[in-house]
Structure 1
Amino acid sequence: MLHSSVVTRLLILIGPTLLIRFAWALGTLCLFLFLSACAEPQTDSLRFGLASAPTNLDPRFATDATSDRVNRLLYERLVDFNDAFEPRPALAEWEQISPRHFRFHLKPDRAPFHDGTPLTAQDVKATYDFILDANNASPHRGTLALIDHIAVQDETTVDFHLNRPDLLFPSFLTLGILPNHLMQKNHPFHSHPIGSGPFSFVTRPDETRLELLRLKDRQLLTFIKVQEPTVRALKLLAGEIDMLQNDVPPELVTYLAKDPQLSIQRHPGTNFSYIGVSLEDPYTKQLLVRQAMAHAIDRESVIRYVLSGAARTAQSLLPPDHWAGALELKQYEYNPEKARSLLAQAGFSSHAPLRLTYKTSSDPFRVRLATILQHQLAQVGIQVDLRSYDWGTFYGDIKAGRFQIYSLSWVGVKTPDIFHYVFHSESIPPNGANRGRFSSHEADRLIDQANHAQDIVDKKQYYQALQGYLSEVLPYVPLWYEDHVFIARREITGFRMANDGNFDGLKDVQRTAPTLSM
């Protein structure tokens, strides 16, 4: 563990910036409250503050967390999950005809597409056929490569034939279904989505605003991008937005919790934070270097002092309470002496230190976390050049493999097929999310064996063995699972939090009373 004196020095290192930001925030807050005192903004729309805007409203191509959460509101999917990460019917019930043959029956009470056309089995087939076509470069193709072909039996029945058996196949069919007649016309779903979800698209005048309509009661919902978390919180206090979820520094959450205008919900999270590395870089491809990084990071102190205890340490992409999670994995305890020794074995010293470029987003709290990790790495002899970018630039670089190391989180992970998508050698972008270009025959073997296993117990054993292997070779340096936090005006009620942090609670959220003017 990091001694308290070291933690104090570390916090002092970043303290002045935070104090300046907080002082600025208080001053801005006074201005906000003064301007809104006589006439607080009134609107019929429910307004949700976002740290980053969705990058793609077409589920065939969307990969970022915000897009996935918004697309769940716009599009319905064949299969969803319960709180135990077990698949449940959404659009369709299913039956397994044979080990390689699954039949899905669309529910009779399913909603039509937002343009009024019915959702049929042909739309299901067309959506997944598009993803499976390599010419379309869908990032989800690798995950669905086990599909051999799809056959429509009638308007409500569609058969999936697999090239190999997989008991978990229904868990893969969680992408939103698009209307075939519009796909044939190359409709721009990314900018004008048309699905069959509980919300329909209204307008997106710019990259900072997205308006949807809740169909059951014609309630307007506006997503508003406010990148700076302090400004987002101030807009919440001033009544310019009604609610937000996550992406708020813990000290700001503590401050907001004291305000009687607001209510706060917390929920244990499964979002996996990690340091990603390039396995093609001459330095970070060395296992000794990655092991040194893992031992240089004091996760417990970061969770305690920076995350205010709102997280738990992570050893694997899946949390241990997942049905396929692994309970006993290699522990990389905080051990700076061991980290220095590993670096020395790799040929680095105080006279010839290891120098790395570390990329992160420009979100202030993510920059703060990255600064702390930069400091901890420096204590063992890894000199880090920290560079922050706006989300679009940062995410584009990560997907393209333009990095040495970076920090990011996987959100909403429910099924162990994520290992194929992230770590299989077949999943190098654009065929998946193996952004570090990790290539291992052993990892591929274990992933393939898990995919082919026809007994759920065998599947679990292969996935646990895979996680054990990954903890040894470290294609990622695991950090922690962060909790979810939802903050809203007191008059906003009915939002139910999810363990994956999705926005489904917006289906039922209401404004129970008008905002009071001062």
Structure 2
Amino acid sequence: MKKIILNSLICLLFLAIALSSCNGNSESSALVMAVESNPKSLDPRVGNDSISARIHQLLFNSLVKKNERFEIIPNLATFEESPDHSTITFRLRPGVKFHNGRELTARDVKYTLDSILNGAVQSPYRGDFIKSDSLRVESVEARDPLTVVLRIRGHLPTLLTSLVPIGIIPEGMSNQDAAQKPVGTGPFKFVSQAEQQQIDLEAFDGYFENPPSIKRLRIRLIQDNAVRQLELKRGDIHLAVNTLFPPDVVEAMKSEPGLKVVITNGTNIDYIGVNVTDPILSKREVRQAIAYGIDREQIIREVWRGQARKAISILPPEQWAFEPDVKSYNHDVAKAKQLLDQAGYTDADSNGPQPRFTLTLKTSSNAFSRQIASNFQDQLKKIGIELKLESAEFATFQSQVIQGNFQLCYLRDIGANQHVDIFQNLYHSRSIPTAAKNYSEGRNRSRYRNPEIDRLIERAESTGNEMEQKELYRQIQKILAEDLPQIYLWHPSNVVIASNRVGNINIDPSGSFFFIRSLTFSEAPLKESSE
């Protein structure tokens, strides 16, 4: 009897080892990627945070997309705008299939867009398509199975850009399913989700472009930098893309065995927002003095550890309308002091401890943002400006900025500066947010007013000629570089930390997740026996 029990236990032990080995092999076949926050929603009509938008790029396709110069080009459809801007006609690619096997038709596009326009889904994108009763998408017509016509009241020059993040879902899909069991046409299809933990995807072999090389992709939420770093070292995570590791941690991980660090130019921009209605900051000489007083090169070198590049415009250099020939501000203490003198803020005690004036800079409570702000404080002290620092958790900080309750603030723009629409949204006087309209008009939080800028923006939006637009945007950037409603600082780099098992890492400057489709992932090496 004892022998039978012993044999049974041995069999169970071998079975457990075999199952464990199978599970291990299954796990090793999935590329595991870490993200630093939970997506707001997997529904592409709802999730507008950066993590949601990146995951949507894996699951869905939109009608149009951006190329490497951030021009709008076809994705699911070619497009043609009527000369009077009253219609845009889209012609869908034939043969595109959803993950459930259904073929994409114009009715799916109509259903997706109608649900946003009619409020069937509470979409943060609705305001992009309905500006007012006289400025809006009026209707969406499925003219035939492969033709969609958008009818527009007024002129919406930003409409094509607004369509970029809108992934198309199948007709009839409920809001609940779109958020919890999404179906798209993208390179990966949804498998399962453990909320606040992980999302499992698998390659869609029916993808209309080249299907992914990676067959299984697991996206894990790991908010803590230290835990994310540890799991990368152990090999439990294989990929982390722009997950907000401090620059010194990134540098340290370059020497970790089994890992690779890929750093490329990014397009996001950090800047100092300036409230130009403030009595001191309303003077252009003061704003220019601050720009000269900040030593960007030193901060990029010593704080960013080289993981950023200097910015001279709101647009990144890759953008088709970027103008390189604008006034730039290399660190120049003497020039900064001269400008402050011209503004009427003389040095009363000749380089003594008494400041010319005091300003307050607001930041989020993020430790790295506060470190950057501390550098600003030290540098501006050398030109006679006392800088007080205030930080708050992000929601409070953002609310203060939107309401104009600040003098200076340290901000980052993610993605929006890839489009020329940014000029209307940040600098046109009609985009100044007001309490009367619940601060919904736009993002001109500097409260900047310049009739010439308004005129140039309106002309650029009204013409369909790219060369004419480029000239108008060139003039706009030159004026902004002189006026400085914002003080441009740097473009943070894209940072990819990956296992040596991950290959073909070619992230584009926008930092999108499109490159994941082309990654390779080798088998895990066998562990050596300890015997």
Q: TM-score range by the shorter chain?
A: 0.7 to 0.9
Shift of 1:487: 1.5
Structure-2 change in CA distance of 1:195 and 1:380 (3 Å): farther
Structure-2 change in CA distance of 1:238 and 1:471 (3 Å): same
1:388-432 Cα distance to aligned partner (Å, 9 max, x none): 455565556555655443323333443312222333334445354
SS at match of 1:418: helix
Is residue 157 of structure 1 aligned with residue 147 of structure 2? yes
1:466-516 Cα distance to aligned partner (Å, 9 max, x none): 111221222211011232221101112233211211111222334312155
Which deviates the most, 319-328 or 499-508?
A: 319-328
1:440-464 Cα distance to aligned partner (Å, 9 max, x none): 4332221110011232211111111
Partner of 1:491: 501
Give, in whole Å, the separation in 2 of the partners of 1:52 and 1:108. 37
Give, in whole Å, the separation in 2 of the partners of 1:358 and 1:166. 35
Is residue 416 of structure 1 aligned with residue 420 of structure 2? yes
- Which of 39, 44, 47 is residue 32 of structure 2 equivalent to? 47
Gaps of 5+ in 1: 1-38
Structure-2 change in CA distance of 1:107 and 1:128 (3 Å): same
Code of the residue aligned with 1:86 in structure 2: it is E
Which deviates the most, 270-279 or 61-70?
A: 61-70
SS at match of 1:269: coil
Structure-2 change in CA distance of 1:180 and 1:210 (3 Å): closer
Structure-2 change in CA distance of 1:399 and 1:209 (3 Å): farther
Give, in whole Å, the separation in 2 of the partners of 1:502 and 1:315. 23
Q: How does 1:358-373 map to 2 (within 5 A)?
A: 358-362=362-366, 364-373=367-376
Is residue 307 of structure 1 aligned with residue 317 of structure 2? no
1:239-264 Cα distance to aligned partner (Å, 9 max, x none): 23211123333333332222231122
Give, in whole Å, the separation in 2 of the partners of 1:327 and 1:286. 25
SS at match of 1:93: strand
Partner of 1:68: 53
Partner of 1:245: 241
Give, in whole Å, the separation in 2 of the partners of 1:319 and 1:462. 17
SS at match of 2:493: strand
Which deviates the most, 289-298 or 197-206?
A: 197-206
Give, in whole Å, the separation in 1 of the partners of 2:232 and 2:90. 44
Query: In the alignment, is the contact (CA less than 8 A) between 1:142 and 1:432 conserved in 2?
Result: no
Structure-2 change in CA distance of 1:383 and 1:167 (3 Å): closer
Shift of 1:62: 4.6
1:206-228 Cα distance to aligned partner (Å, 9 max, x none): 44644444433751321323343
- Which of 266, 271, 283 is residue 269 of structure 1 equivalent to? 266
Partner of 2:455: 445
Q: How does 1:169-248 map to 2 (within 5 A)?
A: 170-179=160-169, 186-187=175-176, 193-202=182-191, 204-207=193-196, 209-216=198-205, 219-228=216-225, 230-246=226-242, 247-248=244-245
Q: How does 1:339-358 map to 2 (within 5 A)?
A: 339-343=336-340, 345=343, 350=354, 353-358=357-362
Structure-2 change in CA distance of 1:351 and 1:488 (3 Å): closer
Code of the residue aligned with 1:72 in structure 2: it is Q
Is residue 110 of structure 1 aligned with residue 100 of structure 2? no
Query: In the alignment, is the contact (CA less than 8 A) between 1:313 and 1:481 conserved in 2?
Result: yes
Structure-2 change in CA distance of 1:384 and 1:220 (3 Å): same
Shift of 1:194: 4.8
Structure-2 change in CA distance of 1:400 and 1:205 (3 Å): farther
1:278-313 Cα distance to aligned partner (Å, 9 max, x none): 445555455444323212211122223333333321
- Which of 79, 82, 85 is residue 64 of structure 2 equivalent to? 79
Which deviates the most, 131-140 or 256-265?
A: 131-140
Shift of 1:127: 4.1
1:288-347 Cα distance to aligned partner (Å, 9 max, x none): 443232122111222233333333211111134432111211222322344345456365
Give, in whole Å, the separation in 1 of the partners of 2:449 and 2:96. 42
Code of the residue aligned with 1:297 in structure 2: it is I
- Which of 431, 435, 440 is residue 430 of structure 1 equivalent to? 440
Partner of 2:379: 376
Shift of 1:64: 3.9
Give, in whole Å, the separation in 1 of the partners of 2:42 and 2:365. 21
Is residue 455 of structure 1 aligned with residue 465 of structure 2? yes
Query: In the alignment, is the contact (CA less than 8 A) between 2:360 and 2:390 conserved in 1?
Result: no
Structure-2 change in CA distance of 1:126 and 1:277 (3 Å): farther
SS at match of 1:103: strand
Give, in whole Å, the separation in 2 of the partners of 1:54 and 1:215. 21
Query: In the alignment, is the contact (CA less than 8 A) between 2:270 and 2:488 conserved in 1?
Result: yes
Structure-2 change in CA distance of 1:55 and 1:299 (3 Å): farther
Shift of 1:78: 0.8
Give, in whole Å, the separation in 1 of the partners of 2:182 and 2:81. 32
Which deviates the most, 392-401 or 272-281?
A: 392-401
Query: In the alignment, is the contact (CA less than 8 A) between 1:166 and 1:453 conserved in 2?
Result: no
Shift of 1:190: 6.0
SS at match of 1:330: coil
Query: In the alignment, is the contact (CA less than 8 A) between 2:42 and 2:182 conserved in 1?
Result: yes
Q: TM-score, normalised by structure 2?
A: 0.77
Is residue 254 of structure 1 aligned with residue 251 of structure 2? yes
Partner of 2:523: 513
SS at match of 2:54: helix
Code of the residue aligned with 1:199 in structure 2: it is F
Query: In the alignment, is the contact (CA less than 8 A) between 1:356 and 1:382 conserved in 2?
Result: no
Give, in whole Å, the separation in 2 of the partners of 1:400 and 1:132. 28
Is residue 479 of structure 1 aligned with residue 489 of structure 2? yes
Gaps of 5+ in 2: 1-23, 206-213, 348-353, 434-438
Q: TM-score, normalised by structure 1?
A: 0.78
- Which of 460, 466, 476 is residue 476 of structure 2 equivalent to? 466
Shift of 1:201: 4.3
SS at match of 1:449: helix
Supply the RMSD in Å over aligned alpha carbons: 3.7
Code of the residue aligned with 1:305 in structure 2: it is E
1:38-87 Cα distance to aligned partner (Å, 9 max, x none): x9996554222234443454444555433322222232111112223333
Give, in whole Å, the separation in 1 of the partners of 2:406 and 2:192. 35
Which deviates the most, 204-213 or 454-463?
A: 204-213
Larger Rg over CA atoms: 2
Structure-2 change in CA distance of 1:291 and 1:194 (3 Å): farther
Partner of 1:405: 408
